[in-house]
């Protein structure tokens, strides 16, 4: 599809999971994604964990000019200290966060168009009182969604994760990314502070001490460590 037609993408914001359940479940039957982006999985994560911490669903539906669903972004607004953060819905219990994409999404929406679309999504969210936020922290994103390239990977501000444990990945051949971006002046300060701590954490995870600690934890969980 030519990029001019993709310009006609219609965005719709939702703050209630119940109202999007039928369309979400119908879309997940044929879209590119994983079980971790299924409606039931994300709803359970939000109900038992996210909602208890005050997370607000900020779900973005994108449709073409014919009304066909192109993508679902399962996002949320979470309060962290004095700031409000835009992140993935259910991300605190999900090792792999991503959008749900229609088959052939890269052919329908070019990388350049998605970058413009993402800025439009940010503006729409911040214009709605329910979804206002100070900074963006989208973590643990795979390089590919199904067989398609993850459109977030090409955005300015996407950071490749190094020293990621292979058994933490949904696909041993995949790379993981984070998208960390400032949305306001205060958000810029948070970005500056958080990034060095992320690098330090990834370094520690590559050390033998971390691997020993992780192995001990897995043994305890499996009941083999008495």
| Paired strand residues for 32 | 101
pLDDT tens per residue, range 48-74: 777 667 789 999 999 998 999 999 999
* CA-based nearest residue to 140, from 82, 61, 202, 56: 202
Print the domain residue range for 39.
3-222
pTM exceeding 0.85: no
For residues 114 and 96, which has the higher predicted lDDT (pLDDT)?
Answer: 114
Q: For residue 208, how many C-alpha atoms fall within 13 Å in the half-sphere facing its CB?
A: 0
For 98-138, the DSSP string reads --EE-TTHHHHS-HHHHHHHHHHHHHHHHHSGGG--SEEEE
Residue 79 pLDDT level (bands cut at 50, 70, 90): confident
Band of residue 41 on the pLDDT scale cut at 50, 70, 90: confident
CATH of the domain at 124: 3.40.630
Q: DSSP assignment, residue 162?
A: P
Between CA 197 and CA 28 the distance in angstroms is 35
Whether the predicted pLDDT of 167 surpasses 50 = no
CA atoms within a 13 Å half-sphere pointing along the CA-CB vector of 213: 7
Q: Into how many domains does the chain fold?
A: 1
Q: Is the pLDDT of residue 157 over 90?
A: no
């Amino acid at each position: 599809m030519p990029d001019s037609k993709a310009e006609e993408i219609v965005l719709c914001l939702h703050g209630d999971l119940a109202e999007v359940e039928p369309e979400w479940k119908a879309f997940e039957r044929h879209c590119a994604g994983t079980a971790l982006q299924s409606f039931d999985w994300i709803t359970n994560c939000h109900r038992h964990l996210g909602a208890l911490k005050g997370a607000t669903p900020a779900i973005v539906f994108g449709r073409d000019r014919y009304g066909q669903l192109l993508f679902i972004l399962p996002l949320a607004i979470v309060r962290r200290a004095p700031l409000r953060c835009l992140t993935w819905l259910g991300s605190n219990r999900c090792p792999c966060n991503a959008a749900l994409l229609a088959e052939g999404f890269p052919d329908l929406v070019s990388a350049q168009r998605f970058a413009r679309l993402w800025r439009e999504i940010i503006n729409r969210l911040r214009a709605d009182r329910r979804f206002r936020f100070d900074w963006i922290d989208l973590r643990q994103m795979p390089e590919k969604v199904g067989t398609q390239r993850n459109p977030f990977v090409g955005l300015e501000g996407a950071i490749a994760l190094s020293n990621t444990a292979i058994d933490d990945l949904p696909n041993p051949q995949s790379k993981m990314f984070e998208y960390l971006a400032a949305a306001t002046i205060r958000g810029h300060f948070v970005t500056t502070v958080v990034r060095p701590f992320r690098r330090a954490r990834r370094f520690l995870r590559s050390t033998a001490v971390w691997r020993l600690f992780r192995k001990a934890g897995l043994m305890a969980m499996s009941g083999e460590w008495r």
